């Protein structure tokens, strides 16, 4: 569903949910699990998305699973490229202020991106200088770095359709966690901001 010109995410989210439910011939009462990306990313987008998901889960008695955004990108990169076990996947997302959210994952079946890895915030220059040539590079942060990557690139670039999390991968990871009984608590789950907002500085 395309965004209406000038409409904010908060204005469009509920109508889009209603539209998707209608297309699937579902009622909102049939939802028993909600999976969503919990960041890092836009402060406003993360807050709106999580509050909406928590409200729906509370109202309908559904379960909630939050999926780290960089984890989803790593998993879909591994699946898309059919990476061999042990290959390092270096995921970067734009953190603004000339910085990147960065996390490294190790491929190998479903082990890649199981939530044990820690997201760090690095300067773009430092990230570029730290490339070792053996990693698979992925993530939406590569869009702003494209003109600064060495030619040929230091490392293997993942296809650009892997660089942002897809709903199907969020659902896949969410269902895996749900099958193990790993649900998030509605009252304690928080977005992964990774740092304070401008207003808090």
Per-residue pLDDT in tens (0 to 9) along the chain, 201 residues: 444 544 566 678 889 999 999 999 999 889 999 999 999 988 888 999 999 999 999 999 999 999 999 999 999 999 999 999 889 999 999 998 899 999 999 987 555 544 457 899 999 999 999 988 889 999 999 998 888 887 766 789 999 999 999 999 999 999 999 999 999 999 999 999 887 654 444
Give phi and psi for 156, each to the nearest 5: -100, 120
| Domain residue ranges in the chain | 9-68+165-200, 69-162
Q: Does domain 9-68+165-200 have CATH number 3.90.1150.10?
A: no
* CA atoms of 47 and 59, how far apart (whole Å): 18
Write the CA distances from 145 to 93, 98, 105, 128, 151, integer angstroms: 10, 10, 20, 9, 12
* CA atoms of 136 and 173, how far apart (whole Å): 21
**Cα 89 to the center of its chain, rounded Å:** 14
25: number of Cβ within 10 Å: 7
* Model pLDDT, residue 5: 46
* Model pLDDT, residue 42: 87
Domain 69-162, CATH among 3.30.420.40, 1.10.10.10, 3.30.1490.20, 3.40.50.300: 3.30.420.40
Beta strands in the chain (DSSP E): 33-37, 63-67, 88-96, 99-106, 120-123, 136-138, 156-157
Q: Output the pTM of the full model.
A: 0.87
Domains 9-68+165-200 and 69-162 share a fold: yes
């Amino acid at each position: 569903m395309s965004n209406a010109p000038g409409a904010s995410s908060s204005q469009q989210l509920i109508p889009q949910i209603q539209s998707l439910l209608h297309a699937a011939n579902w009622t909102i009462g049939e939802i028993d699990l909600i999976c969503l990306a919990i960041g890092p990313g836009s402060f406003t987008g993360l807050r709106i998305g999580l509050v909406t998901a928590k409200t729906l889960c509370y109202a309908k008695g559904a379960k909630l699973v939050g999926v780290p955004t960089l984890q989803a990108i790593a998993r879909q990169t591994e699946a898309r490229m059919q990476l061999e076990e042990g290959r390092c996947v270096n995921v970067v997302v734009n953190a603004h202020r000339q910085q990147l959210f960065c996390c490294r994952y190790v491929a190998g079946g479903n082990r890649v991106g199981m939530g044990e890895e820690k997201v760090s915030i690095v300067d773009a220059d430092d990230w570029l200088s730290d490339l070792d040539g053996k990693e698979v590079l992925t993530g939406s942060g590569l869009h702003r770095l494209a003109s600064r990557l060495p030619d040929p690139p230091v490392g293997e670039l993942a296809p650009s359709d892997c660089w942002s999390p897809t709903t199907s991968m969020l659902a896949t990871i969410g269902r895996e966690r749900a099958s193990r009984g790993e649900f998030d608590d509605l009252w304690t789950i928080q977005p992964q901001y990774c740092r304070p907002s401008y207003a808090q500085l």
